[in-house]
A = this chain, B = another copy of it.
């Protein structure tokens, strides 16, 4: 029984009101209310003694016969979820700061998104899924312009669309390998007979030993090429063959930054020097580096703009491409549409990959990254135009409602509240960090993190971890200061509970 009188009282609603919502009659509006007319509750509401509750458990026991459900937190009720609140199968209303692993951009049942979902154009793309590389719709160019090109990273004028973050990275790696081979061949894709035959046996020179350099604790996906660059956790990689590609150290900064500025600068210099050494000495040649602006799955690890600026210089000096993986950081949460904008690079990255909040995946690139011959970087669907229409609606919302700016402001407000709490409750957490609402802190142990995430969920706030001990904030761009206030109240309550339990006076 984790719920207590305090949290019940703080709900500001009667028990009967909560039961009403659990049975589908959440105020305002009856059960027949259209999803687009739902209204966000003022605060979370937890009506079961545990999460997952009985209805979630019933749904999962059925699902468990067909799929692995061991990572499931609860079963969602997406007809009722609204704005920043996710509703589960038992009618619990949780302020969602995890957002489907950082992939909900503008709120559940967003009216503009529902409108896009119900358009005749959407019905057509759902019923008539084209092979976009062979028979694109006559409108596909226009969709690309509106969905992707309005927010393109500076200097990258083309976009390769695909299904998810992992294959977005792999397609970028393939482009890098083809570019690398072409330049080494003197700017030609005229293949030798030996290349043509050896490649069918998966051996050089046709299938060359060339590498993508990634960074300690980086995460770039789970398909075989992407997984070879993922370095966050052993459990993702064990028993799976991997390319013998190298890894460079990523800075391990200390917080607060102003206190450790010298140490952190030295740490970044050490990592840059080691990266340079690997680019110079690695026995397998390196075609590209891949790096996240914030290592997300690996524990919300940051580096300074200076680090990335110097890294860009190093890639230029060593003639390797730079791929920036913005799968999790892209689409505004860091306070700029793309996180790498904050580095103010002199020359843009060669490729920028995206997915998650964009709801479709792909990579931006220059024309140089297009192979001389067709069908080399290709697949049947090249993404999904239905999801691209959702991307277009999302980009509309983000730009029209100035949600990137909102994330910047709301994030600063949230951070300003977290920092003093980190001092007051130092036995529980520290190292508050990040930009915009793309924030995180470290718990003092993995066990405490588990306890904290559980207590927060029972207080009505759904959060996720990253790395070994970090808690990451991955709210929607629609988060407001009012939501932050709701969060802080509950967070303080949980911190007090943890102190009472572990460090009673």
**A residues adjacent to B (C-beta < 8 A):** 35, 55-56, 59-60, 62-63, 65-79, 81, 86, 89, 100-101, 103-104, 108-110, 113-114, 116-118, 120, 122-131, 133-142, 144-145, 148-149, 157-161, 163-167, 170, 173-174, 177-178, 180-182, 191, 195-197, 199-203, 206-211, 221-226, 228, 231, 234-245, 247, 355-356, 359, 370, 373-381, 384, 386-387, 390
Q: How far is the CA of A49 from the CA of B394 in the complex (A)?
A: 41
Q: Which of B123, B355, B380, B387 contacts A101 (CB 8 A)?
A: B380
B residues in contact with A159, CB < 8 Å: 66-67
A263 smallest CB distance to B (angstroms): 25
Q: How far is the CA of A199 from the CA of B228 in the complex (A)?
A: 10
Q: How far is the CA of A209 from the CA of B104 in the complex (A)?
A: 38
**Contact yes or no, B62 A174, CB < 8 A:** no
Q: How far is the CA of A354 from the CA of B129 in the complex (A)?
A: 16
B residues in contact with A55, CB < 8 Å: 138
The verdict on A109 contacting B124 (CB below 8 Å), with A59-B141, A63-B144, A159-B66 known, is yes
**Contact yes or no, A203 B244, CB < 8 A:** yes
**Contact yes or no, A66 B206, CB < 8 A:** no
**Contact yes or no, B128 A81, CB < 8 A:** yes
**Contact yes or no, B66 A239, CB < 8 A:** no
Q: How far is the CA of A375 from the CA of B174 in the complex (A)?
A: 26
**Contact yes or no, B240 A243, CB < 8 A:** no
State how many copies of this chain the complex holds: 2
B residues in contact with A173, CB < 8 Å: 224
**Contact yes or no, B199 A133, CB < 8 A:** no
B residues in contact with A118, CB < 8 Å: 118, 123
A56 smallest CB distance to B (angstroms): 7
**Contact yes or no, B66 A145, CB < 8 A:** yes
**Contact yes or no, B191 A234, CB < 8 A:** yes
**Contact yes or no, B59 A240, CB < 8 A:** no
**Contact yes or no, A128 B141, CB < 8 A:** no
B residues in contact with A196, CB < 8 Å: 234, 238
Q: Which of B35, B122, B223 contacts A167 (CB 8 A)?
A: B223
Q: Which of B127, B135, B223, B370 contacts A86 (CB 8 A)?
A: B135
A201 smallest CB distance to B (angstroms): 7
B residues in contact with A139, CB < 8 Å: 59
Q: How far is the CA of A270 from the CA of B33 in the complex (A)?
A: 67
**Contact yes or no, B158 A131, CB < 8 A:** no
Instruction: Point out which of A103, A126, A145 has the most chain B C-beta atoms below 10 A from its C-beta.
Output: A126
Closest B residue by C-beta to A34:
B120
Q: How far is the CA of A68 from the CA of B71 in the complex (A)?
A: 39
**Contact yes or no, B137 A208, CB < 8 A:** no
A110 smallest CB distance to B (angstroms): 6
**Contact yes or no, B225 A225, CB < 8 A:** yes
**Contact yes or no, B123 A199, CB < 8 A:** no
B residues in contact with A66, CB < 8 Å: 141, 144-145, 148-149, 157-159
A330 smallest CB distance to B (angstroms): 14
Q: How far is the CA of A56 from the CA of B302 in the complex (A)?
A: 47
Closest B residue by C-beta to A167:
B223
**Contact yes or no, B235 A373, CB < 8 A:** yes
**Contact yes or no, A241 B208, CB < 8 A:** yes
A476 smallest CB distance to B (angstroms): 11
B residues in contact with A56, CB < 8 Å: 138
